[in-house]
Every structure is written in C-alpha cells, then in structure tokens.
Structure 1
Amino acid sequence: MRSRLLPLSLAALTLLTAAGCSSSGSPAAAGPTELTVWIMRDSLTDGLVQRFEADFEATHPGITLKIQIQEWDGIGQKITSALASKDAPDVIEVGNTQVAQYAAGGGVRDLSAKTAELKGGDWIPGLAEPGKVDGKQYGIPWYAANRVVIYRKDLFAQAGITAPPKTRDEWIAATEKLNTGGNEGIYLPGQNWFALSGFLWDEGGDLAVKGSDGKWQGALDTPQAAAAVAFYRKLQALGHGPKDSDEGKPLQAEVVAQGKTAQVISTPGGAGAILKANPALKDKLGFFPIPGKTADKPGAVFTGGSDLVVPEASRHADAAYQVVKELAGEKWQTEIAKEMSYVPNRTSLAGVLSGNEGAAAMAAGAVNGHATPNSPNWAAVEANNPIKQFLTQVLTGADPAAGRRASEAITKALNSAG
C-alpha cells in the first residue's frame, strides 16, 4: 500500500459537471445533477466502482456519477490545480496526511457540521486526526492500512512459542528465542522510520510538536525519542538488517523469502510478495499486531490511507456530501473492507475482517493508529528525510548529536514558507 506520504501519494485537471445544486446547496438550475468523483488507481476494484455507482444512482434519483480513476504520478499538483480552479470535481480521494496541505490553500470545504451524522466519534484516529486542521474537519476518513508483524508459524513452533507476543517484553523474549540455529529473529532495516514513529508514540512523544505560537519544533532530541530508539536498537540487533537502508534496499520480502527470517514488520500485503518469491512458504505465514508496552493495548502504528474531501468549487456540494456519506457509511465500508482487505474507518467495524487473518491483525492495531505531524509542509520533511539519517547515525554511533540535528532539520522544513 502507499502510505500517502509513502504508501499512498495522490490526484488532476478534468472538470465536468452539469447543473444541480450550487456550492451553498441552493438550486442552480433544473435538470439532473452529474457529479465528478476522483478515485485513485487501485483504491477500488472495477467491480466495486461499478456496484457503488449503480447503487448510488438507484437510491439517489436525479443524480448521476462520473467516477474518474486518477493516476498516482503527479497527482499532488493536479489536486492543487483543481482546488484553485473555479470548476472542480465534486469529491476527491486524498491521502490522509495530505489534507492539511490542501486545506491550507483554502479550496477544501469544512465538513465539521457533518461529523456527528457520519459517526465521527467512532473514527479510527489515524484517519480522523490528519483530516482535522485547526479544529475543522476537512477530510472524512475513508479507509486505512497499517503495519503488522508477519511471522513464520513453523519457526515459532520450533522455538516453542505457542502464541504471538502481546507486549514489548514478550516480543523481545520471543525474538531472542527465534534468533538461533541459523535463523534470523527479525528482519528490521535501520531506516524503517515508520516503525520508529510507532515506538515514539508509545513513549508519549512525537516527530514534531506545534507550539502556542503556531511554530513547529522537531522532537527527536527528547527523552521519549531516546527511549524509542533504545527499543528500536534492541529489536534491530536480533536480526541482520542493514543499519543504513530502508525496507526497499534490499526488498524485505525477498529477504524473508530466503526462508531463515522469523518476523518482519510490513503491511499484510507484504505476505503476497513473500509467497510470490517463495511459494513453499504457503500456509506458514501468520500475522499479529505490533505489540505495545502493555498487553491491554497494541503498539502504536502509522496509519496510511485515504480521506474524502469536497472542494469549495464544487457546484453540487449537497449532492457531493451524499457521495461522501455513502462511501464513509457502514454498508460500503463493510463491502470495501472485505473486498480490498482495508481497515474500515470506524473502530466498531473492525469485526468485518474477522475471516482475514492479516487484515484482522491490521484492524486490531489500527485502534492505536497515528499520522505524521499535521502540517502542510510535511512533504518537505520527507523529501530528504532526516529521520532515516537520524536512525542510521544512532544505530552506528556516528553522531552523538544526531537527535538535535534531525530535530533542527524537521523544524526548518515545517516552518518554511510555501
């Protein structure tokens, strides 16, 4: 999955709307209303798109949908251009961590008044929080995905481990047992900043914090960050992961496919890549939520996924909201979650994934989901990603002041104009 900073980036110019409601909801002209909806490539199957379109039009007489599939490449600029225009799509799927960026331009409608009707109190936090900017709900949570631990059931059994760990201490103890006999307890590359972020949130810290003056301050030089890194270092040492690269170098699925690795942190979809590289591991892979500090709560995870927004320039705002309401509602959340193995937007719907082991583990972890700092400039941080550099430096002992330097880089990026 794309994190929507990583796995999930989003959005373009094609604007077609017929007469319907004005953006204030008052009639603009007689006749049917045509709504343009932008959905990202691979967010839904063709079958889901067709079923939703047919169902919506049947239950909303007088409204027709034009669902346009958008490509990931260059989508950010397309959405920015569309939101700045006078003629925009009526509903747009955007990455959950991108809402602040688009809201900052003033082209996204405030849907705060609709949160109660949409069961906002039940939304998973990793989608709801980044959709809310300065107290206003611009992005409506749609679907999510997050990392879990993919593990080798057979290697766990050989090590005498009868159940997946639920706490950090249990996780370390189990991984130590697995890191014997030529096996690797866990493959954790040194620059997996998504994993570090979860450990940091568990410690009560964050990647950056916003002061009362509205300025952001990087927070990798705090006691909480030191505790998170200490756990990361301890876990990473129980495998052979490189300290100077991320999950893509080498591809961690290919590492696990070699047959000696007991665990890896990944989205559940990573299991498919492992099995493609080594079909002999079929029926040997299992999933569990990243363990937390205590057994009553899973470890914090980065939540990637999508929100739905309604542009201010939509000429059919009331009808557009109906599309959002349906896509974010129980019926379609259930169908989409089951068919796409996504985490639904509501915590109370996690049970719909009970028959899918990987997705169920993902949903269990999603209740402690978080997003990156809610700044329109977050993309500038990821451009050079000082968090990755920080991890390598602390794991190798190369720079005793790594936390301060990384915090300064984050502070500068988040407070830069433009």
Structure 2
Amino acid sequence: MRRRLLALLCVTGSLVSGCGMLPGDHGRKTVTVWLMKGSASGEFLRRFTEDFERTHEDLRLDIRIQEWTGIVDKVRGALKAGSQDGPDVIEVGNTQVPLYADGGRLVDLTLESMRDWGKDKWLPGLAEPGKDGNKQYGIPWYAANRVVIYRKDLFEQAGITSPPRTRDAWLAATEKLDSGGNQGIYLAGQDWYTLSGFIWDEGGDLAGEKDYEWQGALDTPAALRGMDFYRRLQALGEGPVDADEEHPPQAGVFAGGKVAQIVAVPGLAQAVVRQNPGLKDKLGFFPVPGRTAGRPGTVFTGGSDLVVPGNTDDQFAATAVVGALTGAKWDTELARTMNYVPNKTTLAGAVGGEEGVAAMAAGAAHGRATPNTPQWADVEADNPIKEYMTRVLRGADPATEAHRASRRITEALAPNVG
C-alpha cells in the first residue's frame, strides 16, 4: 500500500525527483515517463499506472509532469545527458518530433510499429511528423483539430436545415448567415492553420522537398486556389485581416452573440459558454467541409506522439510503456476522458457519442501536419505566411505575394551550416 501511495504521488507530479526504488518493489525496474501538463487527468494516470504495474510485475512507473514552456530545451538537454537520471519515454508535440530525431538521438521504433502497433491505421497527421525517411520515431498518442462551431439557432433562422458538407455549400450558407447584423463567420485574416487545410485540399502544400532541399510552395496553382477560397470565406465576416485568431481571442467575439460560425477546436465552445451562458444549448459542430460531400476537408492535426530517447538504459521497458499507452485500450480511454481523437482511424467510433469530438475525428482521418523538417520552427518564428495572407486580403496580387512568401520560407528552411 505504501509503494502504491508513493507511486501515485509520482504520477501527479508532487514528487518529481524522489521516486526511486521503494521497499517491497523486489527489484522492479523504474521507467521514467515525461508527460505534458494537461494531456491526461490524474485519475487516468492513476488507473493506467495500476493496470500497467499489475501486468508488468518487473516494472514500476515514475510519471513526471512537464510544463510546455521551455520544454524544447529541456528535452534536448535530456537527450544529450547520461541515461541514469533521464526519461525513458517522452511525450512531444507531433510537429516537434523532427527537432528531436535530428542527430539520431531517438530510438527507431519502425519494427514495433509494423509488427505490434498497427501503424497502417494511424492518423496521418500524427504518424507522418514522427517519421524520418522510412524510420518511425514518434508513436501517435492523441490528436485534436479544428472543426466548425456554429449557432444552431442562427442556422435555423436562415433556413439552413443541416450543416454544409461541401465547400461550395459552406460558402452559400455563410453568405445567407452574413446578414441582419450578424457575421456569417468570424475568421481572422492570419489563421494560417485553417488556410493550410484549404491548400492541402487543393493538392498544394506550404513547402515541398526536392533533391533533399526544401522550398516554399505557396506560389503553386493549387496553393493559390486554397488562398482564394480563404479570401472568399473570410470576407463573409468582420475578422481582422492583420491578426490571428487569438488577437482578439475568437471565443470572446463568438460569445458576443453576433457571429454564426468560427473554426476552432471543439473545446473552445466551453470558453464561449462561460462568457455567454445563454448559448449553452445553441452551439453545434460539424467537420470543416471538403471539396466533395464524400470527404471532409483536410485539417491541420495537432496532438502528441511518444518517443524513446536513444540514451535510455532499458529500451525494452520503454517500448512496453509506449505500447500500453498507445494501444487500443488505454488510447480509447484517454480519448473518452479528455475529449481527444484516438490515434487510429479504426477507433473513431469510441468518441462518436459526443458531437464535437465526432466532428473532430471525421476531420482527423484526413489530417496533415506542417512540413516534416527540423527547420520548420524557424519559419514559424517569423511567419511569412501570416504577412502573405494579410497582404492578399488587403487587395495585393496573390501570385506576387505568394512568390515573396515562398522565397522567405525557402530561406528559413535552408540547412544551418557551421
């Protein structure tokens, strides 16, 4: 009982450095796991720990909760350190995997992925960023992505009986909603994650790799078509053309009662209702529409992967933890507990009873992530996509501005030399 109580304190992060071998452990090997704050509830971690230690009698979990602020430098430091005190498993943002895989500091989990973990069913937006060439380093854990949050009452007043399923129908419905003092949609001018989905839907990309060199791709015909759709949709509301969705926070704008739709993760609806309780039963969700009714739109998929540092002193134990956390039983339980999308398309039915999460899961099946290169962080640090969007929405020539932004992306993606 004393061992279990102390293990629980480790799980909740109360003892981040005092969880060594405990009396009664009888030689159990401790597996140190770094998970991010807010990714899983304390109750979920308690139940997972009990189940894992019951089924792995030679292992004990030491789960240490980490803050997102400063995590990149902390993980990089851990990957370079000795194996004695470092983590054996680390949760990382799906688009962060290339940062850590660079230099060969992560364990190649390709064999386990193919043999044991069913990688062919993983969400592409989680799986693809976890690869480097043909090697799988990041193992998908959970996903979250944007959907359309809408006012059911305003749709009804406009005579719209069901959510649109194609982009053309979405434009037509939004035009109807953009009347009587209401905004058809609130879409900030620099919401580049939403723009990315439209570009991907058209067959374009933000950047592409050719002969081992990355180049910006906003100036391709497909990417320009995606930007044109964004421009037409954004004009059916009063979103600022020179700011992103957090300036001002779009939850507050939506709560004001004069907006019919926003594009956001479903959880944002809770913030809307807190600010305007009168909207509690008036909000609905649907996947971002695609070009055809048979397939939802492509969306940017955020979420987390699990990785194993190359300096772990027990790779077998570490992979056992990864396999358990990302397996169907506990991945489904996590999704239900935290309103996430499970890591496999075949598990989407597990969250089908909750409207917002079901809409999110439908989009995640066709999700993507940012270009799989460690240098992408340099693009986002001084993001030329945002400036490009603002210039186009203010009336500048799209092709000219796309070429300018693509050149800046190419420069940012150039390998660092020296």
Q: TM-score, normalised by structure 1?
A: 0.92
* Aligned equivalent of 2:208: 209
* Aligned equivalent of 1:402: 401
* Aligned equivalent of 2:48: 52
Counterpart of 2:71, as a letter, is I
Q: For the Cα contact (< 8 Å) 1:153–1:284, is it kept in 2?
A: yes
Q: Secondary structure at the match of 1:327?
A: helix
CA distance in 2, matches of 1:334, 1:73: 28
Aligned pair in 2 of structure 1 residues 17, 90: CA closer, same or farther (>3 Å)?
A: farther
Q: Secondary structure at the match of 1:239?
A: coil
Counterpart of 1:118, as a letter, is W
Match 1:332 to one of 330, 334, 354: 330
Shift of 1:298: 0.4
Point out where structure 2 has 5 or more consecutive residues left out of the alignment: 1-15
Give the alignment's Cα RMSD to 1 decimal. 1.6
CA distance in 1, matches of 2:345, 2:227: 29
Matched, 1:155 2:174: no
Q: For the Cα contact (< 8 Å) 1:17–1:89, is it kept in 2?
A: no
Residues 250-278 of structure 1: CA deviation (Å, up to 9, x unaligned): 11111111101000000001101111110
CA distance in 2, matches of 1:413, 1:272: 37
Counterpart of 1:227, as a letter, is R
Q: For the Cα contact (< 8 Å) 1:108–1:138, is it kept in 2?
A: yes
* Aligned equivalent of 2:142: 143
CA distance in 2, matches of 1:376, 1:77: 14
The 5 A counterparts of 1:169-180 are: 169-180=168-179
Point out where structure 1 has 5 or more consecutive residues left out of the alignment: 1-12, 19-29
CA distance in 2, matches of 1:371, 1:309: 17
Counterpart of 2:389, as a letter, is L
Shift of 1:105: 2.5
Q: Secondary structure at the match of 1:142?
A: strand
* Aligned equivalent of 1:95: 93
* Aligned equivalent of 1:193: 192
Q: For the Cα contact (< 8 Å) 1:16–1:89, is it kept in 2?
A: no
Aligned pair in 2 of structure 1 residues 89, 15: CA closer, same or farther (>3 Å)?
A: farther
Residues 310-339 of structure 1: CA deviation (Å, up to 9, x unaligned): 111111110110100011101001110001
* Aligned equivalent of 2:286: 288
Deviates more, 1:286-295 or 1:173-182: 173-182
Residues 51-70 of structure 1: CA deviation (Å, up to 9, x unaligned): 11111001100100000000
* Aligned equivalent of 2:128: 129
Counterpart of 1:297, as a letter, is R
* Aligned equivalent of 1:303: 301
Matched, 1:373 2:371: yes
Q: Secondary structure at the match of 2:347?
A: helix
CA distance in 2, matches of 1:237, 1:215: 36
Residues 7-28 of structure 1: CA deviation (Å, up to 9, x unaligned): xxxxxx979877xxxxxxxxxx
CA distance in 2, matches of 1:222, 1:399: 14
Matched, 1:348 2:346: yes
Counterpart of 2:388, as a letter, is F
Matched, 1:224 2:222: yes
* Aligned equivalent of 1:249: 247
Residues 218-252 of structure 1: CA deviation (Å, up to 9, x unaligned): 00111111101110010001111111000011111
Shift of 1:148: 0.1
CA distance in 1, matches of 2:166, 2:109: 38
* Aligned equivalent of 1:237: 235
* Aligned equivalent of 2:78: 82
Q: For the Cα contact (< 8 Å) 1:16–1:36, is it kept in 2?
A: no
CA distance in 2, matches of 1:15, 1:414: 42
Counterpart of 1:334, as a letter, is T
CA distance in 2, matches of 1:183, 1:398: 27
* Aligned equivalent of 2:411: 412
Q: For the Cα contact (< 8 Å) 1:17–1:35, is it kept in 2?
A: no
Counterpart of 2:32, as a letter, is T
Q: Secondary structure at the match of 2:154?
A: helix
Counterpart of 2:88, as a letter, is D
Counterpart of 2:53, as a letter, is E
Q: Secondary structure at the match of 1:79?
A: helix
Between the two proteins, what is the percent identity of the paired residues? Answer: 59
Q: Secondary structure at the match of 1:246?
A: coil
Q: Secondary structure at the match of 1:69?
A: strand
Query: Which consecutive aligned stretches of 4+ in structure 1 deviate over 3 angstroms post-superposition?
Result: 13-18
Shift of 1:198: 0.1
Q: Secondary structure at the match of 2:38?
A: coil
CA distance in 1, matches of 2:387, 2:20: 47
Counterpart of 1:188, as a letter, is L
Q: Secondary structure at the match of 2:259?
A: coil
Q: TM-score, normalised by structure 2?
A: 0.92
